[in-house]
């Protein structure tokens, strides 16, 4: 069946399902949960009413939830429960709202108790009924208390594999089998003499962030520490080795010395501690002269096992995990949505049966990745005209990007990624797999925190690293992009590449791009049958085009049939424009 025939079939099914569709209005200011919700003047007020309605009467496929401009809800929309009739298909608002309706994953915290007064800071505490993943003071995220306050500690010796150490699972959906890479690490490391824990204190319940590869930071909750061994439950992606950097978070004793606002959450007793540095007028009081908000809800919108979802013209902020979480949702459209300050990913979709479109949206300051799309063999994916900024925590006061794959991650599927602006990424800017097109994007200031990284990155693994990889029909195109870093790479890591064709990238056309400010402009690593032409490369520190195999003799001859011609090269500060 042709793509046009498929489109007509989907259209007919949607029109049929929508024939009896109903619009339900929600207004947090002027609504009333006792009203019908069927007119703007009879709008519901709360998401609790939406939950009650879906579990009792039930929505129909094709129904619309329309949110009033300027409304705010400290709540989430949860469409997972399969016991009701169907999901509303459209969650939207007026396109021209001066202030978008906003779904807020945080709660305002008042009623603090002073615990201790320091020389230039005050520590407060508050008991809560829920866990906390982020804290915001006057709207700005502040970091979890850490040790050491700056720099890192170091693993003293290599760890080894353990039979009773297992990979982590998806916290929202434990049945998910997604693992972009195998976990081959461990559940412990040996600490060195640089770890000095105060007397009568421990690390139990703390978080450890360990850099097990130059491009990867694992974060685990410490189960115990004794005799120089720090242990946790879930396997790290790679094996901790001697010299690896790590730091610790989230113990009350880490607030003994503070140089900036910090916080701790004690999950055992449900208590959050907040250390506030004095300002020019003296001590600050969280109940008087500042606001404190805590991320307590995992997501803004979550939906599973449904179809024809459209989300538009709204804002989502302060989600503890994901702004929007979708699994097995057929035909998703996300348009003109603003997602900010997500504790993990801005948009996360797992198992895409048919299509997803993300257009004209803003995803700002996601602590991990902005857009993460996973597991699909044949879905139609369009990511166009979006602004993605601050993905992977590029504010080092908040910590390094942990378990991050890319600001835009679409490696498991074929995607059109076009006319997006991706700026200030802790790791990769755009990451694709086979059969994708990355066209006319601006990718600026990637690789700020992690190494072995690309502004635009692709790879593909064959079944065996040692088998030559044939020419693939499903080619990828990387064309007409501007890939640059400010200050000629001053803010990037040493092993950063503007366009990075990694392991077994095959039949990729890299053409008419402008690349500057990286350690190398274009890297071809263990890749075959690729075309690099008509690109403009300048100001990359080491090479403008770099072609390399691994040092391991087993990989000799794995770079072949790459064609490079008609490129414009201006080696402003390097002596080797092209390096083999």
Report how far residue 460's alpha carbon sits from residue 505's, in angstroms, rounded to the nearest whole number.
5
Cβ–Cβ < 8 Å for 213, 237 = yes
Cβ–Cβ < 8 Å for 380, 358 = no
pTM of the model: 0.92
DSSP string, 40-76: GGG-B--HHHHHHHHHHT-B-TT-EEEEPTT-EESS-
Render the burial of 524-558: b for 16+ CB within 10 Å, e for the rest.
bbbbbbbbbeebbbbbbbbbbbbbebeeeeeeeeb
Could you give the 3-state DSSP secondary structure of residue 322? strand
Cβ–Cβ < 8 Å for 489, 573 = no
Report how far residue 320's alpha carbon sits from residue 104's, in angstroms, rounded to the nearest whole number.
10
Report how far residue 296's alpha carbon sits from residue 316's, in angstroms, rounded to the nearest whole number.
14
Number of Cβ within a 10 Å radius of residue 82 = 11
Q: Looking at the DSSP assignment, which residues form a beta bridge with residue 137?
A: 140, 292
Give me the tens of pLDDT residue by residue for the chain, a chain 580 residues long: 454 444 444 444 444 445 578 999 999 999 999 999 999 999 999 999 999 998 888 888 889 999 999 999 999 999 876 444 456 789 999 999 999 999 999 999 999 999 999 989 999 999 999 999 999 999 999 999 999 998 999 999 999 988 888 888 765 555 554 554 578 899 999 999 999 999 999 999 999 999 999 999 999 999 999 999 999 989 999 999 999 999 999 999 999 989 999 999 999 999 999 999 999 989 999 999 899 999 999 999 999 888 889 999 999 999 999 999 999 888 999 999 999 999 999 999 988 878 999 999 999 999 999 999 987 767 899 999 999 999 986 555 556 678 899 999 998 788 999 999 999 999 999 999 888 999 999 999 999 889 999 999 998 765 444 455 454 555 899 999 999 987 544 445 578 999 999 988 989 999 999 999 999 999 999 898 999 999 999 999 889 999 998 766 666 778 889 999 999 998 766 556 666 5
Report how far residue 236's alpha carbon sits from residue 402's, in angstroms, rounded to the nearest whole number.
12
Report how far residue 335's alpha carbon sits from residue 325's, in angstroms, rounded to the nearest whole number.
15
Q: Which helix (H) or strand (E) holds 310?
A: strand 299-312
- pLDDT, position 359: 98
pLDDT tens-digit readout, 21-44: 899 999 999 999 999 999 999 999
Report how far residue 347's alpha carbon sits from residue 332's, in angstroms, rounded to the nearest whole number.
12
Could you give the 3-state DSSP secondary structure of residue 6? helix
Torsion of CA 53, 56, 57, 60, to 10 degrees: 70
Render the burial of 454-471: b for 16+ CB within 10 Å, e for the rest.
bbbbbbbeeeeeeeebee
Report residue 346: phi and psi, to 5°: -70, -55
DSSP string, 501-566: E-TT-BSEEEES-EEESSSEEEEEES-BS-EEES-EEE--SSEEEEEE--SSGGGTT-SB--EEES
Tokens at residue 317, please?
């902020």
Checking DSSP bridges between strand 113-117 and strand 121-127, what pairing results, if any? antiparallel
- pLDDT, position 454: 96
Tokens at residue 451, please?
């190494």
Mean of the per-residue pLDDT values for the chain?
88
Which of 422, 527, 426, 514 shows the shortest CA–CA distance to 468? 527
Matching residue, tokens 């709202």: 97
Cβ–Cβ < 8 Å for 329, 354 = no
Report residue 181: phi and psi, to 5°: -140, 150
Number of Cβ within a 10 Å radius of residue 94 = 13
- pLDDT, position 85: 47
C-alpha distances in Å from residue 423, one per residue of 253, 394, 400, 484:
36, 10, 16, 10
Which of 499, 506, 503 shows the shortest CA–CA distance to 549? 503
Cβ–Cβ < 8 Å for 450, 427 = yes
Cα end-to-end span (Å), the chain: 46
Report how far residue 540's alpha carbon sits from residue 36's, in angstroms, rounded to the nearest whole number.
62
Could you tell me which residues come within 8 angstroms of residue 221 by beta carbon, excluding any fewer than 6 positions away?
A: 205, 206, 207, 208, 232, 233
Report how far residue 180's alpha carbon sits from residue 119's, in angstroms, rounded to the nearest whole number.
47
Report how far residue 362's alpha carbon sits from residue 380's, in angstroms, rounded to the nearest whole number.
21
């Amino acid at each position: 069946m042709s793509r046009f025939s498929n489109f007509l079939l989907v259209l007919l099914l949607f029109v049929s399902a929508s024939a009896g569709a109903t619009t339900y209005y929600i207004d947090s200011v002027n609504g009333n949960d006792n009203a019908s919700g069927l007119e703007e003047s009879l709008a519901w007020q709360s998401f609790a009413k939406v939950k009650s309605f879906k579990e009792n009467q039930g929505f129909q496929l094709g129904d619309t939830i329309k949110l009033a401009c300027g409304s705010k809800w400290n709540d989430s929309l949860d469409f997972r429960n399969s016991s009701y009739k169907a999901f509303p298909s459209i969650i939207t608002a007026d396109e021209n709202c001066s202030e978008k309706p906003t779904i807020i994953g945080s709660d305002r915290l008042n009623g603090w108790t002073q615990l201790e007064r320091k020389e230039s800071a005050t520590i407060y505490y508050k008991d809560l009924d829920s866990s906390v993943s982020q804290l915001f003071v006057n709207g700005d995220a502040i970091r979890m208390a850490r040790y050491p306050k700056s720099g890192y500690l170091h693993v003293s010796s290599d760890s080894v594999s353990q039979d009773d150490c297992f990979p982590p699972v998806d916290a929202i959906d434990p049945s998910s089998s997604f693992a972009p890479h195998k976990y081959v690490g461990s559940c412990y490391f040996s600490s060195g003499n640089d770890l000095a824990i105060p007397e009568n204190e421990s690390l139990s319940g703390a978080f450890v962030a360990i850099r097990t590869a130059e491009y990867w930071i694992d974060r685990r909750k410490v189960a115990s520490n004794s005799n120089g061994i720090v242990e946790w439950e879930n396997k790290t992606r790679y094996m901790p080795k001697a010299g690896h950097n790590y730091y610790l978070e989230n113990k009350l004793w880490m607030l003994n010395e503070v140089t900036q606002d910090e916080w701790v959450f004690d999950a055992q007793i449900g208590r959050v501690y907040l250390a506030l540095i004095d300002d020019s007028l003296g001590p600050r009081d969280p109940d008087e002269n500042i606001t404190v908000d805590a991320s307590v809800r995992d997501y803004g919108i979550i939906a599973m096992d449904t179809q024809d979802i459209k989300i538009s013209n709204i804002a989502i902020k302060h989600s503890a995990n994901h702004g929007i979480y979708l699994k097995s949702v057929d035909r998703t459209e996300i348009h003109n949505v603003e997602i900010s300050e997500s504790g993990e990913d801005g948009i996360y979709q797992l198992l895409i049966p048919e299509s997803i479109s993300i257009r004209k949206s803003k995803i700002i300051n996601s602590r991990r990745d902005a857009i993460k799309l996973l597991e699909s063999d044949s879905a139609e994916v369009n990511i166009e005209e979006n602004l993605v900024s601050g993905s992977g925590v590029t504010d080092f006061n908040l910590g390094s990007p942990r378990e991050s794959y890319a600001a835009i991650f679409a490696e498991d599927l074929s995607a059109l990624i076009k006319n997006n602006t991706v700026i200030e990424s802790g790791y990769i800017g755009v990451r694709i797999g086979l059969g994708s097109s990355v066209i006319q994007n601006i990718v600026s200031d990637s690789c700020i925190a992690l190494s072995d990284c690309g502004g635009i990155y692709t790879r593909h693994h064959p079944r065996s690293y040692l088998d030559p990889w044939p020419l693939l029909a499903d080619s990828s195109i990387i064309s007409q992009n501007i890939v640059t870093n400010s200050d000629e790479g001053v803010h990037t890591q040493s092993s950063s590449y503007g366009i990075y064709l990694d392991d077994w990238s095959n039949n990729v056309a890299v053409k008419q791009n402008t690349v500057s400010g990286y350690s190398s402009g274009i890297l071809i690593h263990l890749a075959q049958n690729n075309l690099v032409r008509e690109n403009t490369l300048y100001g990359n520190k080491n090479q403008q085009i770099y072609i390399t195999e691994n040092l391991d003799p087993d990989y000799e001859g794995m770079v072949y049939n790459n064609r490079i011609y008609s490129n414009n090269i201006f080696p402003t500060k390097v002596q080797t424009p092209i390096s083999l």
